[in-house]
C-alpha cells in the first residue's frame, strides 16, 4: 500500500495511534511520573513567538550545516531510540529515510537492527551507548561500532531509572511467543495493519538487542540488557573521559541540563552535547531543554557543538532552537510516529514536514540561512528561561 502523505507531525501521531496496538503506542509515548517534563517540552516551544517581516525577504533559504563532522542538508538529526519494533524494518527504514533526506542518525545500543546494517544504509550514523556492563564489554561495543564504520559515538548519561507513570506503563513481552501472542491478541486484532506488516516481512516483533551481543555473539533480550544497565555503578566524569579517549572520534554527550555539566563535557574533550531531558522520560519536572538552552549555549557554545532534543514537532521549533543557540536538533517521537505510520516513507514525510516548516519560518523572519538566526528572531516571554546554580 502506498504511503498517504500527512501534513503535520500531529497527523503522523494520529496515524501511529490508529495503527499500533495500544501497548506499543503507549511505549512510544513514554513519559514519566506526572508527565510534567513531557508536556513542558512541547508547551515551551509554543510560548516562544515570532514577529515576521513582510518585505525584503530572502528568495532562497539555506539549511545545510554540519554536526560532528557530518554534512547534513537540514539541521535535524535522528535521535537514538531503543527497539523500534513499531515496524518490521525498524532502524533500517529510519536510516534509509535519513540518508534520502541527507541527514545523520543516532542508533541506540538497544536498537533492534545491527549497527553494521544500519551504517550500510546510512554512513552518517552515530552509535549511542549507555554506561553499562564492564569496561571490557563497552570497549567491545565501541570496537564493533568503529569496525562497522560509525561516524561518531553518543553517550547518553541522563537516566535515573524512574519507572512509574501516573497513567500506567504498558505490558511489553520480551519475545512474541505463543503466550505473549495470546495476551496481545485482542490489541493486535484491532490493529490488523501492524500485524499484517510483520506477517508480510516473515518475522515477528522481537525485543532482542543485537548490538549488545556478548563475546560469543549471544544477544540479550531487552529486559536482560536493561537489568545489566541498572546494575552498573554510574560513571564519573573520569569514566566518561575514558570512553571519549577510547573512542577517539567525534563524541557527543547526551542529556545535559546544567551549565556546570556542559562545562565538564567541554573539559573531557567532547565534540558535542545535547541539552535534553530524554524526551521527558526520565526525572520528571526537569524543565524543557529549550528553557535551559540559552544559558548552556552562552556558557560553552563557542567551544563545543550545542544540540538540543525534546519536544521538536515543527520546523518552527527547529528555528527557535537554532535562534537560541543550538547548532541542530535531534528528534525522537516525531520520526517514530512517522515510522509507525508509513515505514521509510513515513519518516521521509516527517523530515519533509520539518524542512518545509524551517523554510517558512526563515522566510517569515527574513533570514536567508539558518546560520544568520539570532535570539532576536524569537519573542521570549518574561520568565521563560531556567538556569540551575553552578556546582563545583
Ligand atoms: C520510545 C523511546 C525510546 C528511547 N530510547 C532511547 C535510547 O535508547 N537512547 C537514547 O539515548 N535516548 C532514547 N530516547 C530519547 C530520545 O533519544 C530523545 O532524547 C527524545 O525522544 C527527544 O524527545 P522527543 O521525543 O520529544 O523528540 C528514547 C525516546 C523514546 C520516546
Average pLDDT over residues 303-323: 98
Supply the angle between the helices 237-247 and 135-148 in degrees, to the nearest 10. Answer: 30
| pLDDT given at position 177 | 60
Read off φ and ψ for residue 183, nearest 5 degrees: -70, -35
Supply the angle between the helices 192-201 and 178-189 in degrees, to the nearest 10. Answer: 130
pLDDT at 215 over 80: yes
d(Cα 124, Cα 247) in Å, to the nearest integer? 16
CB count, 10 Å around CB of 289? 32
| pLDDT given at position 204 | 67
- Running DSSP on this structure, what letter comes out for residue 231? T
Q: Name the residue of 153, 155, 212, 278 whose CB sits within 8 Å of the most ligand 1 atoms, as the mutation to test its pocket.
A: 278
| Residue 234, burial from CB neighbour count under 10 angstroms (0-12, 13-18, 19+) | exposed
| pLDDT given at position 207 | 79
Average pLDDT over residues 366-390: 97
The separation between CA 363 and the C-alpha centre of its own chain, rounded to angstroms, equals 27
Instruction: Give, in words, the CATH class of 9-377.
Output: alpha beta
114-126 residue pLDDT tens = 999 999 999 999 9
Average pLDDT over residues 5-10: 98
Residue 83's pLDDT band, with cuts at 50, 70 and 90, is low
| Residue 383, burial from CB neighbour count under 10 angstroms (0-12, 13-18, 19+) | exposed
pTM here?
A: 0.96
d(Cα 56, Cα 354) in Å, to the nearest integer? 24
pLDDT at 188 over 70: no
Average pLDDT over residues 314-330: 99
Lowest mean pLDDT among 142-156, 219-233, 318-332: 219-233
CB 103 within 8 A of CB 354: no
Average pLDDT over residues 175-185: 62
Residue 170's pLDDT band, with cuts at 50, 70 and 90, is confident
Q: Number of helices (H) and strands (E), helices first, in the chain?
A: 14, 10
255-305 residue pLDDT tens = 999 999 999 999 999 999 999 999 999 999 999 999 999 999 999 999 999
Residues with Cβ within 6 A of ligand 1? 28, 30, 41, 79-82, 108, 110, 128, 156, 254, 276, 278-279, 281, 309-312, 331-334
| pLDDT given at position 106 | 98
- Enzyme catalytic residues: 278
Residue 174's pLDDT band, with cuts at 50, 70 and 90, is low
Q: Give the residue, 22 or 153, on which the prediction is more confident.
A: 153
Residue 100's pLDDT band, with cuts at 50, 70 and 90, is very high
pLDDT at 112 over 80: yes
Domain boundaries, the chain: 9-377
Quick one: which atom of ligand 1 is closest to the CA of 277? 19
Quick one: which atom of ligand 1 is closest to the CA of 29? 31
Beta bridge partners of 367: none
Q: Give the residue, 174 or 53, on which the prediction is more confident.
A: 53
Residue 179's pLDDT band, with cuts at 50, 70 and 90, is low
Q: Name the residue of 26, 35, 38, 82 whose CB sits within 8 Å of the most ligand 1 atoms, as the mutation to test its pocket.
A: 82
Lowest mean pLDDT among 3-7, 201-205, 221-225, 332-336: 201-205
d(Cα 180, Cα 243) in Å, to the nearest integer? 38
Q: Give the residue, 91 or 169, on which the prediction is more confident.
A: 91
Q: Give the residue, 244 or 192, on which the prediction is more confident.
A: 244
40-65 residue pLDDT tens = 999 999 999 999 999 999 999 999 99
Distance 53 CA to ligand 1 centre (A): 35
| pLDDT given at position 205 | 72
| pLDDT given at position 379 | 98
Amino acid at each position: 500500500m502506498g504511503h498517504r502523505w500527512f501534513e503535520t507531525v500531529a497527523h503522523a501521531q494520529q496515524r501511529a495511534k490508529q495503527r499500533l496496538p495500544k501497548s506499543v503506542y503507549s511505549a512510544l509515548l513514554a513519559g514519566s511520573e506526572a508527565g510534567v517534563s513531557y508536556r513542558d517540552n512541547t508547551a515551551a516551544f509554543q510560548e516562544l513567538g515570532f514577529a515576521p517581516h513582510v518585505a525584503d525577504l530572502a528568495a532562497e533559504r539555506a539549511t545545510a550545516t554540519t554536526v560532528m563532522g557530518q554534512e547534513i542538508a537540514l539541521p535535524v538529526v535522528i535521535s537514538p531510540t531503543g527497539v523500534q519494533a513499531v515496524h518490521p524494518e525498524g532502524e533500517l527504514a529510519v536510516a534509509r529515510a535519513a540518508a534520502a533526506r541527507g541527514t545523520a542518525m543516532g542508533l541506540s545500543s538497544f536498537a533492534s537492527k545491527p549497527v553494521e546494517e544500519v551504517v550500510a544504509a546510512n554512513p552518517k550514523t552515530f552509535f549511542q551507548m549507555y554506561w553499562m556492563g564492564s569496561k571490557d564489554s563497552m570497549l567491545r561495543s565501541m570496537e564493533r561500532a568503529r569496525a562497522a564504520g560509525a561516524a561518531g559515538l553518543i553517550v547518553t548519561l541522563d537516566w535515573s531509572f524512574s519507572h512509574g507513570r501516573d497513567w500506567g506503563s504498558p505490558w511489553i513481552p520480551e519475545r512474541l511467543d505463543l503466550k505473549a501472542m495470546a495476551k496481545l491478541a485482542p490489541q493486535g486484532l484491532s490493529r490488523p495493519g501492524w500485524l499484517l506488516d510483520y506477517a508480510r516481512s516473515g518475522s515477528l516483533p522481537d525485543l532482542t538487542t543485537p548490538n549488545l551481543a556478548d563475546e560469543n555473539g549471544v544477544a540479550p533480550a531487552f529486559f536482560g540488557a536493561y537489568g545489566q544497565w541498572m546494575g552498573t555503578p554510574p560513571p564519573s566524569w573520569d569514566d566518561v573521559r575514558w570512553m571519549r579517549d577510547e573512542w577517539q572520534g567525534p563524541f557527543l554527550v547526551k542529556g545535559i541540563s546544567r551549565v556546570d555539566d556542559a562545562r565538564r563535557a567541554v573539559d573531557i574533550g567532547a565534540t558535542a552535547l545535547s541539552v535534553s531531558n530524554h524526551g521527558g522520560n526520565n526525572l520528571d519536572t526537569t524543565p524543557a531543554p529549550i528553557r535551559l538552552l540559552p544559558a548552556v549555549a552562552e556558557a560553552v557554545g563557542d567551544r563545543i557543538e550545542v544540540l538540543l532534543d525534546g519536544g521538536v514537532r515543527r520546523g518552527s521549533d527547529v528555528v527557535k532552537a537554532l535562534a537560541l543557540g543550538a547548532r541542530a536538533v535531534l528528534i525522537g517521537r516525531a520520526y517514530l510516529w512517522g515510522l509507525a505510520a508509513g515505514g521509510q516513507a513515513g519518516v521521509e514525510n516527517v523530515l519533509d514536514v520539518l524542512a518545509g516548516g524551517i523554510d517558512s519560518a526563515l522566510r517569515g523572519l527574513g533570514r536567508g540561512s539558518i546560520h544568520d538566526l539570532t535570539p532576536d528572531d524569537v519573542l521570549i516571554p518574561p520568565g521563560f528561561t531556567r538556569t540551575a546554580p553552578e556546582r563545583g
